[in-house]
Amino acid sequence: MAPASNDLIIRPVSLQDAPALWTIARQQGVIETTMALPSMRLEQRIESLQNLSENDHYLVAEKAAQVVGLAGLTVGTGRLRHSGSLFVYVAAEYQGQGIGTQLIRALLDLADQWLMLHRVELTVLTENEGARRLYERLGFVIEGCRKMSVISQGELKDEWLMARYR
C-alpha cells in the first residue's frame, strides 16, 4: 500500500508486528477501550496473527518505521457475506493525530471497492465519545445500546452498536 500521509504508512499486518501490537494493546489509554486483557501473552498475539483467515483483513499504521496502530475488518460468511465487523486501536502517544481515521478509511475502501460489502459494523463503549464522533464522521450510525456488554476496569460497561451502510 502507498503512504497514507507524509510519513505514515498503512500496510497489511505481518507476524513481525506481533511484539509491537502486543505492547500497544496493553497500554494505558488503549486497553480500557479494547477487548485485550492485561494477562495476554505475546505468544497469544503471535498465534492470533498466524490464524487469520482469508476473511480477516488487518492493516497496521507505521510511522518512522514503528508500528503505531492496528485496524481489522472481518467479513461475514454464508448469509452474512455482505457484511463485516471492524475494530481499530492506536498507541496512546499517537492518538488524536488522524491515524485511526486513516486506518478505518483504508479498510472502508477495501470493503467498498474490493469486497463489495453493504454493511460494516463495530461496537464502541458509550463513554468513548471521541471514538463515537470519529465513527459518525465516517458514516456510521448508532443502531442500539448493548447493556452491560463489556467488563472494563472492574465495571460492567455499555457499548453502542454502530453500522455504516452502502
- CATH of residue 66's domain is 3.40.630.30
In a domain, 106, yes or no: yes
| Partners of 143 in the β-ladder | none
In a domain, 96, yes or no: yes
pLDDT of the residue at 36: 87
Measured CA to CA in angstroms, residue 77 lies from 38, 56, 107 at distances of 31, 11, 18
Residue range of the domain that includes 82: 8-121
In a domain, 50, yes or no: yes
pLDDT of the residue at 2: 46
DSSP code, position 39: T
Structural domains counted in the chain: 1
pLDDT of the residue at 1: 52
In a domain, 150, yes or no: no
In a domain, 129, yes or no: no
Closest CA to 150 of 32, 28, 25: 32
In a domain, 84, yes or no: yes
Which residue, chain included where needed, has cell 502517544? 93
Cα separation, 88 vs 33, in Å, equals: 10
In a domain, 152, yes or no: no
Cβ–Cβ under 8 Å, residues 92 and 30: yes
Per-residue pLDDT of the chain (166 residues; tens, 9 = 90+): 544 556 999 999 999 999 999 999 999 999 988 888 889 999 999 999 999 999 999 999 999 999 999 999 999 999 999 999 999 999 999 999 999 999 999 999 999 999 999 999 999 999 999 999 999 999 999 999 999 999 988 999 999 999 999 9
In a domain, 18, yes or no: yes
DSSP string, 78-117: GGGTTEEEEEEEE-GGGTTSSHHHHHHHHHHHIIIIIS--
